[in-house]
Amino acid sequence: MTASVTADFRDEWLVERSALLRRRFLRFTTVVSCLLMAQLAGTITLRITGNGPISSVYAWANIIEDVLILALFIAVNVITRRRQQTYESVLRTACWLIIITGGIVLLPLGVITGGSGGLREAYSGVGSVFLLHFFASLFLSWTPREALRPLVPLVILNALVMPFMHIEVGPMIGVLVLSLFIGIPGLIIAAWRHTSLRSRFHFRMLKGHYGQMKREFGEARQIHESLFPHPLREGPIRFDYRYLPMRQIGGDYLFARLDRRGVLHVVLIDVTGHGLSAALTVNRLAGEIERQLGESPDVGPAALLAGLNAYVHHTLAVHSVYATALCIQVDCRADQVRWASAGHPPAFLRAVDGSIESLDSTTIVLGACHGDDFPMIERTARFGRGDTILAYTDGAIEATNADGRMLRIDGLQRMLASGHPDRDGGWTASLMREVDRFREGPIQDDTLMVEVWRPVTVQAGQRAAVETRGAAEVSR
């Protein structure tokens, strides 16, 4: 997970916790205020009627105690509602509220009443601290460590009050030992609530980020695929392709342009890696191809590869990113195809009589070396009417069957030799279907298959129209 994503999670988590703690703290103070008002009303009723078991001294002590605590809770509730506070400030307010409330409950037991409370009041004080902390833990969304902050001072205060209550040493030690464990239920609730809250938050955030990333990947794929050319299905030279990325977006790329001389330029690139990083690399290479052909429209395949190699070596190889590439130029007037291949799997030229010739690699992969160390070798072959060139990326030949055996180059060549092109999709549709039938399980690499062919017959009007339109009809 990147630092930016971690920071987003942390900031969002803090904002959500702050809002939740403030909301639950207000709910806590409201509920306690209502309970205190009910208790105060009951105490006053008992005092007025005189039917209660509580003596007048304790009755007045309870009334004063309830009034002080009620006033404190109401004041804190009003202040918190009016002010926009941070998480730490709300937590600090909650801790001090609990500590002061506990002090108001504990101090009268030993100091104000002069130690006349006895063992019953000692247990009553411990019970009051337990209820206060437990009730707060039911409402507040704090961590176990944060829940300890108000508990420790109250336990210490209770221990300081104990000597003033004139209790025997044995029972006093028992009460003190008991006071060390009164916070355990509240801490358990705090731990469970915090863990549950954090799990729900992480799930929601991951789900939201996944949805956002999926949408962004979809948009990125649209932009990426907009770089691909339109198929050319009329005229003396035609081409079509099928592209199946391993993920939503991939590192294979096809460039095609028909210039005004009627020469078709095709560049097939396979970048190392998969996914978004490979697609970003493809975008850079697409711009470099456009630049080279824009500056030198008549550049040959070998010279174009040399320019791409220099670009990859100086800008991408430092990041251990390399690429294979196949450059093809088809000239119908000369019945000729020129090609240069930088470590790319061999393309196949299937003649009209069914014979197959391999268009093998002529140099090493792009970016591995530069300058004179990069051989600029270009080859030619006859490409007449009815002939077809099939180019592909290694995702096709690396398809594996149920036995773990790869299709390999010879397997794809056998499919081409024994198969037939589809009526609508041509060789690309036919071979992609056969590769998919051979493959067992999910695809392991991006797969791009390109078919360039010359029809046996072409209407004169189509030839003139296509040659006039040129690149505008092929490239996006």
Domains of the chain: 3-206 (no CATH), 228-474 (3.60.40.10)
Type of residue found at 37:
M
Separation CA 344–CA 269 (nearest Å): 8
Cα dihedral sign for 90, 95, 101, 104?
negative
pTM: 0.64
Separation CA 261–CA 467 (nearest Å): 7
Q: Are 129 and 104 in contact (CB under 8 A)?
A: no
Report the pLDDT value the prediction gives residue 2, as an integer from 0 to 100: 47
Report the pLDDT value the prediction gives residue 109, as an integer from 0 to 100: 62
Helix (H, G, I), strand (E, B) or coil at 368: coil
Q: Are 139 and 97 in contact (CB under 8 A)?
A: no
Report the pLDDT value the prediction gives residue 210, as an integer from 0 to 100: 75
Strand partners, 252: 270
Report the pLDDT value the prediction gives residue 159, as an integer from 0 to 100: 80
Nearest Cα to 162, choosing from 148, 174, 150, 149? 174
List C-alpha distances in Å: 411 to 356, 452, 467. 13, 20, 37
Q: Is 209 exposed, middle or buried (0-12, 13-18, 19+ CB in 10 A)?
A: middle
Q: Are 440 and 381 in contact (CB under 8 A)?
A: no
Q: Are 362 and 302 in contact (CB under 8 A)?
A: yes
CA dihedral 315→316→317→319, nearest 10 degrees, is 110
> How does pLDDT run along the chain (476 residues), one tens digit per residue?
444 446 667 778 888 888 899 999 999 999 999 998 988 888 777 767 766 555 556 667 777 888 898 999 999 999 999 988 889 999 999 999 999 998 888 777 655 444 445 677 777 778 888 888 898 999 998 999 999 999 888 888 888 877 776 677 777 788 778 888 888 999 999 999 899 988 888 888 887 777 777 787 778 778 888 889 999 998 899 999 999 888 777 789 999 999 888 899 999 999 988 777 888 888 899 999 999 999 998 899 999 999 999 999 999 998 899 999 999 999 999 999 999 999 999 999 999 999 999 999 999 999 999 888 899 999 999 999 999 999 999 999 999 998 889 999 999 999 999 999 998 889 999 999 999 999 988 888 889 999 999 998 866 544 444 444 344 435 44
Q: Which two tokens stand for residue 463?
A: 């030839």
Output phi, psi for 362, to 5 deg.
-115, -15
- The CB density around residue 126, as the number of other CB atoms within 10 Å, is 21
- For the stretch 31-64, what's the b/e string if a residue is b when 16 or more beta carbons lie within 10 angstroms of its beta carbon? ebbeebeebbeebeebbeeeeeeeeeebbebbbe
Report the pLDDT value the prediction gives residue 13, as an integer from 0 to 100: 84
CA end-to-end span of the chain:
36
Q: Which two tokens stand for residue 127?
A: 């019970």
Q: Are 251 and 272 in contact (CB under 8 A)?
A: yes
Q: Are 4 and 45 in contact (CB under 8 A)?
A: no
Separation CA 305–CA 325 (nearest Å): 8
Separation CA 14–CA 167 (nearest Å): 47
Q: Which two tokens stand for residue 195?
A: 């863990």
